[in-house]
């Protein structure tokens, strides 16, 4: 196996483990979704640890084809306490904090998209 493929496989394994770990940490939080059109806020709470990510929902319709698309734009994020909770359990480096912040935003976006999908059904 070439060096590039080995590195890609290691990166994929690390991403998988990080995904599992973020879910384990966020499973400790109560997650509540609040919609105030056009905004959707994903709130996380666990005792004194609280955080939120707010998205603006934008509906787009294609010009050539009438395909409707929902786009979520992150407009506000206050996840410092959630990252503190994480850091209390596993001390984080500066690079880790950036990775955790990105993974939390990805998680909150997925929660918001799942919420919208559930409304459509």
**Distance (Å, whole) CA 57 – CA 42:** 13
pLDDT at 7: 43
State how many domains the chain has. Answer: 1
Average pLDDT over residues 5-24: 51
Q: What is the mean pLDDT of the chain?
A: 82
Per-position b or e across 43-66, b if 16+ CB within 10 A of its CB: bbebeebbbbbbbeeeeeeeeeee
Q: pTM, whole model, 2 decimals?
A: 0.78
The residue range of the domain holding 9 is 3-120
**Distance (Å, whole) CA 5 – CA 41:** 39
Burial class (CB in 10 A: 0-12, 13-18, 19+), 85: buried
pLDDT at 40: 97
Average pLDDT over residues 9-15: 45
Q: Mind listing the pLDDT tens digit for each residue in 30-63? A: 999 999 999 999 999 999 999 999 999 999 888 8
Tokens in use for 81? 């306490």
Band of pLDDT at residue 18, cut at 50, 70 and 90: low
* Among candidate residues 97, 106, 115, 84, the one with its CA nearest the CA of residue 23: 106
Facing residues of 36 across strands?
39
Q: CA torsion, points 31, 33, 34, 38, in degrees to nearest 10?
A: 140
pLDDT at 58: 94
């Amino acid at each position: 196996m070439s060096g590039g493929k080995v590195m890609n496989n290691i990166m994929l394994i690390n991403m998988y483990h990080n995904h599992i770990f973020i879910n384990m940490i966020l499973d400790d939080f109560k997650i509540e979704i609040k919609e105030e059109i056009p905004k959707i806020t994903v709130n996380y709470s666990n005792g004194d640890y609280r955080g939120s990510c707010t998205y603006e929902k934008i509906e787009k319709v294609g010009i050539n084809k009438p395909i409707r698309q929902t786009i979520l734009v992150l407009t506000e994020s206050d996840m410092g306490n959630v990252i503190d909770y994480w850091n209390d359990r596993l001390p984080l480096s500066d690079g880790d904090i950036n990775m955790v912040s990105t993974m939390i935003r990805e998680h909150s976006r997925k929660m918001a998209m799942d919420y919208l999908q559930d409304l459509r059904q």
